[in-house]
């Protein structure tokens, strides 16, 4: 009774907010779209939409089917894409989600040898849903999720592949003395961060907030290059992975301090769906990631 077209109509109508826009996106006439939904409602014996002003609002039954569409359609779309890859002689597409700004540079170390080892597999890296990657993984929008902060969910497993230490990057001539920074040292500093909410930043959750401290000001910058240029120019300090700071030390007058006497240990994890039968090219990526 429920056809794929029904699910596509419900998803697009909900996403775009109108029947007209959904019909255009699906290359249907508005009357054909409306007829398809009325027929489904008649077969099911329940309304899926109700008017709300000039728009439509899904009923409880409609919301249920929209949720189903959001889970099922990405899987069908991925299956079709994979079959198309096989038809072209490719092994498939490895879709990787990123929940970590600096991890992108680490990923480049893995992707280069991976593409050489698997010439018939393409790689797609997605960052549009940054810090919403769990939903993308569970919804089959991506195959692997790279994250420094794994969140346990039923049906997901994580594997640590790279250990590192978060450190405080400062300019070479910065007045902070010694090799260790304490939370109070940052109360007079400008903290430069990626565009991430404070509750997702270790410098807050594991260092500043437990000590009841906050920086004097915060600057949000999207790119690592500009961030560390700002640090080198004495415009602020930033908490970054030790390996990333070391990469830039050859180009910029910066150094790093340990965050607290015990440091701040972290790991990059790769998450995947527990029930998936792993393709050999996925296992190949995991092996290279563990060795990077």
Instruction: Note the pLDDT tens digit of each residue in 17-39.
Output: 888 999 999 999 999 999 999 99
- Gap between the Cα atoms of 82 and 219, Å rounded: 42
β-pairing verdict for 92-98 and 121-126: parallel
Tell me what percent of the residues of the chain surpass a pLDDT of 90: 54
Q: What is the DSSP string of 185-201?
A: GGTTSEEEE-S--GGG-
Mark the ranges of the chain whose per-residue pLDDT is less than 70: 85-91, 128-132, 177, 276-278
Q: Could you give the C-alpha distances from 190 to 26, 45, 126, 218, in angstroms and in order?
A: 49, 61, 30, 5
92 torsion bin: left (phi>0), alpha (psi -120 to 50), beta (else):
left
| Mean pLDDT for all residues in the chain | 88
Give the per-residue pLDDT at 220.
Answer: 94
- Gap between the Cα atoms of 124 and 140, Å rounded: 14
Give the per-residue pLDDT at 90.
Answer: 55
Q: 230 with 111: CB under 8 angstroms?
A: no
Model confidence pTM above 0.85: no
């Amino acid at each position: 009774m429920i056809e794929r077209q029904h699910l596509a109509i419900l998803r697009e109508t909900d996403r775009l907010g109108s029947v007209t826009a959904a019909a255009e996106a699906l290359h249907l006439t508005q009357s054909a779209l409306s007829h398809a939904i009325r027929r489904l409602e008649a077969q099911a014996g329940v309304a899926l939409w109700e008017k709300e002003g000039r728009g439509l609002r899904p009923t409880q039954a409609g919301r249920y089917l929209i949720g189903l569409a959001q889970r099922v359609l990405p899987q069908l779309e991925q299956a079709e894409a994979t079959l198309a890859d096989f038809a072209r002689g490719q092994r498939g597409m490895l879709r990787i989600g990123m929940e970590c700004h600096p991890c992108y540079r680490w990923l480049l170390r893995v992707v280069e040898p991976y593409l050489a080892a698997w010439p018939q597999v393409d790689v797609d890296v997605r960052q549009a849903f940054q810090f919403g990657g769990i939903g993308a993984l569970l919804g089959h929008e991506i195959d692997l999720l790279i994250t420094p902060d794994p969140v346990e969910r039923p049906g997901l497993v994580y594997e640590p592949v790279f250990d590192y230490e978060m450190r405080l990057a400062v300019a070479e001539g910065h007045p902070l003395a010694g090799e260790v920074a304490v939370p109070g040292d940052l109360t007079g500093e400008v903290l430069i961060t990626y565009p991430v909410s404070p509750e997702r930043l270790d410098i807050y959750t594991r260092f500043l907030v437990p000590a009841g401290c906050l920086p004097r000001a915060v600057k949000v910058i999207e790119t690592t290059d500009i961030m560390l240029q700002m640090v080198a120019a004495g415009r602020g300090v930033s908490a970054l992975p030790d390996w990333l700071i070391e990469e830039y030390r050859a180009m910029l007058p910066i150094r790093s301090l340990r965050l607290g006497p015990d440091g701040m240990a972290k790991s990059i994890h790769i998450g995947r769906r527990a029930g998936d039968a792993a393709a050999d090219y996925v296992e190949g990526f995991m092996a290279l990631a563990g060795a990077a």
